Amino acid sequence: MRFLLINPFCPITEGPTPPLGISFLAAALERAGVEVRILDFTVFPYSKGFLETVLNEFQPSMVGSTSVTMTFDYAIETIRDIKQISPDILTVMGGPHVSFCYEETLRKFPELDFIVAGEGEETIVELASEAGGMKAWKQINGLIFRDGDKILVNEPRGFLDVNTLPMPARHLLPLGRYRALHTPISMTTSRGCPFHCIFCVGRKMVGARVRYRDTKLVVDELEYLSTLNFPQINISDDLFTARKSHCIAICDEIMKRDLSITWSSFARVDTVSPELLAKMKEAGCRTVSFGVETANAEILKTIKKGITLEKVKRAIRFCVEAGIEPHVSFILGLPGESPQTLEETKDFGKEIEELGACYGFHLLAPFPGTAVRDNNEDYDLSILTEDWKQYHANRAIVETEQVGKEVLNAIAEEWDYETQNKLAEIKQRIDQGTATDDEAWQVINLDRFLFIYQMMMENTLENHGSWINGTPFASDSAALKDLARRIHGPMGKTEPEALAILQYAFERGSIEYADVDNRVVWNWQKLD
């Protein structure tokens, strides 16, 4: 049994990190004896020809793709291409979008054979088993599929014991490419969210009861991730600080093992304390992110957030005192939004910035499965589109009675403009020699990120990184200079600019070359 898993294209603006969910699926399949391969089109350019080559070589019996709402169209386009190339391959998709939009999806896209709803590790293993045997689809809990003209929804699957999960199969991911982008790498210490926010599907996907992983297993994984040389580990639990004793036990184990790691987490403002944050800081936590959403008390009640602005400011002060950087996110366009509430939130953002917090805005995206979409008639909200590619939360796809999309877009565009101006000012100070190291790092790192990502998505090394070389290079510097000379023009850089970035990538082990038999060949480094 061979199973091909697809991570669909995701826009670079979303800050790609090595995909975690699909790595759990791959690990569960491998443990069951299935041969697995992952194609990650977030850091590889997509083409139907490349897909056909992989299908012909790997010969999978099944192909599965994950997706969120924003990436669904890319995922289903890949599934369609797969069926055109090999009609007999069984196709399956999971993730929050199809879990809550299953009937429309199966009726509209005949190329998709199955949907796995909710947590997928156990369901996908049973599906793979039946694909090689009796094909008793109706016996698989959590599976949704067509039976003639009917959509059959099997019994939902109960939430699994998170301590039975194998370590995510990151060895199947192109980790070298992600590390070249200098992105964080993610892991989880729990699943579940006990809160009721009307704009989120987390509680419906992973349950209201938080299921905690064993402390030893968590820190074993942290220890492994620390060997991969990523700049930071993101603990991506919906709420890492849901249980104080869980957090403290993990921090104590990190310190017991003397791990030198940098990590971040998500929290609610009413679940942190000076004691807890001090412990997290001692164990390597650098940033904590809080979803505050709005500064208006009535909207906070409407969205069932259950916090107050005083608690927000208190949590920020606790973080600053502990030496942890607090990040705050707001959502504009929530039910009840008005010109006055927008100003409240913008003013509050400036207030917490003075307290030491970083903050940013997103625009509401009413994802399938959220209360704000499913019960839309109960809220002051008009949903303007079902073009899923627009559900990236950076431009308006909703309006309230008092705030139209033009107003929301103007705020988002102003935020983008201010960000670009800040970067331009830093570039000027770099040229003048007056920029701080932190300021310079922001600009230089962004420039590297965009250059390296362009190299990946344009197959620059594959297309221009191999040539006949009469004599071996006298040094690595000579090899890098030759590469920079060949690629700088198509990449829109001067040769010195390209060389500086390539030198950095080479020194970090992100790119490597072989100079054998009169031919030099450059490649992205692979991580075992």
For the chain, which residues make up each domain, given as ranges?
2-153, 184-403, 458-524
The pLDDT value given to residue 259: 97
The pLDDT value given to residue 93: 98
CATH number for region 2-153: 3.40.50.280
Burial 424-450 (b: 16+ CB within 10 A, else e): eebbeeeeeeebeeebeeebbeebbbe
Q: How far apart are CA 134 and CA 516, in angstroms?
A: 52
CATH classification for the domain delimited by 184-403, as one of 3.50.50.60, 3.20.20.70, 2.40.50.140, 3.30.420.40: 3.20.20.70
**Which pairs from 149-153 meet CB under 8 Å and 24+ separation?**
151/102, 151/103, 151/106, 151/107, 153/102, 153/117
**What are φ and ψ of residue 138, in 5° steps?**
-70, -15
Pair 510, 452: CB distance under 8 Å: yes
Burial 475-485 (b: 16+ CB within 10 A, else e): eeeebbbbbbe
The pLDDT value given to residue 449: 95
Q: How far apart are CA 480 and CA 520, in angstroms?
A: 11
The pLDDT value given to residue 13: 84
Instruction: Tell me the mean pLDDT per 10 residues along the chain, length 528.
Output: 96 90 98 98 96 97 96 98 97 97 97 97 96 88 95 96 97 94 96 94 92 98 96 96 97 97 97 98 98 98 96 98 98 98 97 96 96 94 96 96 97 93 93 92 93 95 91 90 95 95 92 89 83
DSSP letter string, 288-328: EEEEEE-S-HHHHHHTT----HHHHHHHHHHHHHHT-EEEE
The one-letter amino acid at 134: M
The pLDDT value given to residue 472: 84
Structure tokens at 516: 């054998």
Check residue 230 and report its DSSP letter: -
Task: Name the residue among 362, 296, 364, 366 with its Cα closest to residue 329.
Answer: 362
Pair 361, 396: CB distance under 8 Å: no
Q: Is 262 helix (H, G, I), strand (E, B) or coil?
A: coil
Q: Is 325 helix (H, G, I), strand (E, B) or coil?
A: strand
- The CA angle 305-307-310, to the nearest 5 degrees, is 150
Q: Is 117 helix (H, G, I), strand (E, B) or coil?
A: coil
pTM of the predicted model, to two decimals? 0.94
Pair 55, 82: CB distance under 8 Å: yes
